[in-house]
């Protein structure tokens, strides 16, 4: 009898925790536009992603979950359910060098690359299982990377980054074929809460192009998650949150030129922990929360914090830290420890830990069909509150964005989007160098997973401006975008400050043409990008017969990106 009672309680809990695939933005963009048009609840912040779309009461013309993932089987009077997830297919091609942005398990690649994914979703009571593995194939062709003719000192200065981050130019020399768990999870769900294990990609914050502190730019990492599935309503407003503990993995690949020397020493240093063990995994823990105020409709305020350390340290392998801490271990939740350095109990702990934090806002103006958003993040902890106030630019990264819809007379809309991100260090680096974003002085793999930055896809030391204009009509979107990227200015200043060579900025000017549409049987999108790189890889061969200001090496790259989502149609027989 007791077992029957427990089982009945188990199946009576509220169910459904299926998420939208972060790596195909078609659906999330549609929902975000629908919110600007006043068609869905303005209390959804879109700052904790992926979205648990099937627990929201969306109109079927906005998002029809039964078409996206039809139910193949129900049992126990609807308390149990088996759904078929759509087939996701992503393909891209680069002609000259990699262009890689927010595509999860796919790698920086020259040539052809594709990803295919399909799966099922099962739920019974509070239990939900989403199994959506991914298969990736990449040609991984050779390309011109960091210029071989740079002086040895320039190579050594490039390694000041590469020795402190796991970000290989190329993932070996062979074609890549791999299977991953992809967007899979096992969860227990109750009302607005969910707890479980997952390999899904995560995105924290309101940004659309460059999520500075967490994005889907790299392969999703295995993690334990406790999160809200929808806004938690209180008397003072709504709250959303996610708390994650996970494991970050090394790529196993080295940067180019590992055999080079400078000043009689090798410039390459293997990535080891403090016990001289190579390619240790990293313990990651982080959280984000968003508050949607009751008194200012559409305003969402939030914060993010994360830390990482080598797995050996987390497991107690650094004996000197335990000794300095009176024999105590770090515990299971180091993220809730000291926030400011003045509270450090032991100095070695702070040195061996990589951490970052930030605040953000998203303000939806429903009457104007517009939103503005921003992030302000720090890559280094502050000594105390006074340090925070007086040197607020130290180690900071900033994003600002605007998204606006304009109605037209022919029942269509014009969509305008602009996003600016700056990761480059400020002038304060001259007296207090924070190092580039995502690198670290003791966690030598930096903030990466499987060789790619988990944050902004533009990478350390870089800046980006992205402006797009498109026409929206029914289920179709067509438009263009201009993207300007300053490639790793932090390295540029370090490498050429002695020579005062102001000609070598590596700058990309990218023109995007894109098309998206919901067809009767599938959703599809296509993006063609032409890129003109000025001073590619900071390469310039000076000709004494020409004036001093002469161009470096400029190259062209074409990038094609194609995405397809095909739902599996199931005919119910009466």
Alpha helices (runs of H) in 103-171, residue ranges in sequence order: 152-162
Q: For residues 226 and 59, which has the higher predicted lDDT (pLDDT)?
A: 226
pLDDT digits 0-9 by tens, 227-275: 999 999 999 999 999 999 999 999 999 999 999 999 999 999 999 998 9
Give the mean pLDDT of the chain.
91
pLDDT at 322 over 90: no
Taking residues 129-143, report their average pLDDT.
Answer: 97
pLDDT at 409 over 70: yes
Give the pLDDT of residue 574: 46
Burial 4-21 (b: 16+ CB within 10 A, else e): eeeeeeebeeebbbbbbb
Q: For residues 548 and 7, which has the higher predicted lDDT (pLDDT)?
A: 548
Give the pLDDT of residue 154: 96
pLDDT at 381 over 50: yes
pLDDT digits 0-9 by tens, 56-95: 767 666 788 888 999 999 998 888 999 999 999 999 999 9
DSSP H or E run through 414:
strand 413-422
Taking residues 465-475, report their average pLDDT.
Answer: 95
Three-state DSSP class for 439? coil
The position carrying tokens 């392969």 is 219
E-only strand ranges, 249-351: 261-262, 265-266, 282-293, 299-310
Q: What percent of the chain has pLDDT over 90?
A: 74
Strand-pairing partners, residue 117, are 88, 134
pLDDT at 179 over 70: yes
Q: What are phi and psi of 479, to 5 degrees?
A: -175, -170
Give the pLDDT of residue 346: 60
Give the pLDDT of residue 342: 58
Give the pLDDT of residue 352: 86
Residue 422 token pair: 């700056």
**Residue 157 buriedness (CB in 10 A; 0-12 / 13-18 / 19+):** buried
Give the pLDDT of residue 150: 95
Taking the C-alpha atoms of residue 228 and residue 213, their distance in angstroms, rounded to an integer, is 19
pLDDT at 37 over 90: yes
Indicate the pTM of the whole model. 0.93
Give the pLDDT of residue 63: 82
106 neighbors 137 (Cβ within 8 angstroms): no
Residue 294 token pair: 């009751």
């Amino acid at each position: 009898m007791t077992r029957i009672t427990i089982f009945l309680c188990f199946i009576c809990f509220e169910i459904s925790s299926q998420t939208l695939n972060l790596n195909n933005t078609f659906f999330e963009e549609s929902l975000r536009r629908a919110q600007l048009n006043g068609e869905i609840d303005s209390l959804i912040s879109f700052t904790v992603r992926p979205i648990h779309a099937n627990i929201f009461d969306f109109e079927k013309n906005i998002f029809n979950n039964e078409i996206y993932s039809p139910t193949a089987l129900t049992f126990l009077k609807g308390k149990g359910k088996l759904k078929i997830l759509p087939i996701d297919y992503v393909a891209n091609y680069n002609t000259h060098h990699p262009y890689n942005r927010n595509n999860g398990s796919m790698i920086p690649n020259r040539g052809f690359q594709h990803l295919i994914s399909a799966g099922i979703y099962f739920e019974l009571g509070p239990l939900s299982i989403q199994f959506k593995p991914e298969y990736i194939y990449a040609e991984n062709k050779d390309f011109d990377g960091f210029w071989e003719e740079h002086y040895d000192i320039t190579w050594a200065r490039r390694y000041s980054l590469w020795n402190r981050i796991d970000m290989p130019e190329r993932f070996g020399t062979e074609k890549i074929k791999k299977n991953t768990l992809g967007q899979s999870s096992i969860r227990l769900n109750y009302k607005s809460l969910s707890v479980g294990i997952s390999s899904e990609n995560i995105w924290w914050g309101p940004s659309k192009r460059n999520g500075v502190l967490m994005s889907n730019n790299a392969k999703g990492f295995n993690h334990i998650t406790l999160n809200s599935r929808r806004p938690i309503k209180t008397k003072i407003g709504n709250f959303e949150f996610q708390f994650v503990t996970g494991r970050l993995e090394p790529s196993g690949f080295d940067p180019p030129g590992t055999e080079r020397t400078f000043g009689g020493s090798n410039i390459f240093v293997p990535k080891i922990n403090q016990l001289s063990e190579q390619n240790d995994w990293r313990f990651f823990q982080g959280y984000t929360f968003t508050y949607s105020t009751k008194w200012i409709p559409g305003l969402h305020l939030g914060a993010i914090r994360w830390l990482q350390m080598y797995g050996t340290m987390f497991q107690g392998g650094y004996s000197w830290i335990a000794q300095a801490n009176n024999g105590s271990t770090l515990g299971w939740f180091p993220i809730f420890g000291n926030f400011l350095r003045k509270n450090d109990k032991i100095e070695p702990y702070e040195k061996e830990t990589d951490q970052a934090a930030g605040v953000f806002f998203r303000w939806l103006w429903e009457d104007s069909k517009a939103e503005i958003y921003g992030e302000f993040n720090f890559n280094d902890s502050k000594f105390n509150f006074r340090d925070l106030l007086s040197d607020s630019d130290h180690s900071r990264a900033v994003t600002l964005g605007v998204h606006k819809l304009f109605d037209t007379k022919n029942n269509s809309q014009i969509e305008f989007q602009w996003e600016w991100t700056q990761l480059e260090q400020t002038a304060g680096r001259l007296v207090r160098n924070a190092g580039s974003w995502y690198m670290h002085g003791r966690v030598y793999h930096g903030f990466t997973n499987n060789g790619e930055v988990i944050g902004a896809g533009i990478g350390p030391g870089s800046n980006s401006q992205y402006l797009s204009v498109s026409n929206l009509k029914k289920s179709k979107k067509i438009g263009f975008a201009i993207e300007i990227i300053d490639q790793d200015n932090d390295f540029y200043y370090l490498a050429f400050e002695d020579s005062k060579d102001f000609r070598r900025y590596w700058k990309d000017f990218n023109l995007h043409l894109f098309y998206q549409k919901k067809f009767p049987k599938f959703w599809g999108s296509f993006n063609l990008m032409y890129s003109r790189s000025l001073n590619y890889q900071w390469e310039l061969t000076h000709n004494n017969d020409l004036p001093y200001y002469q161009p470096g090496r400029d190259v062209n790259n074409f990038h094609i990106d194609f995405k397809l989502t095909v739902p599996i149609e199931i005919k119910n027989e009466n």
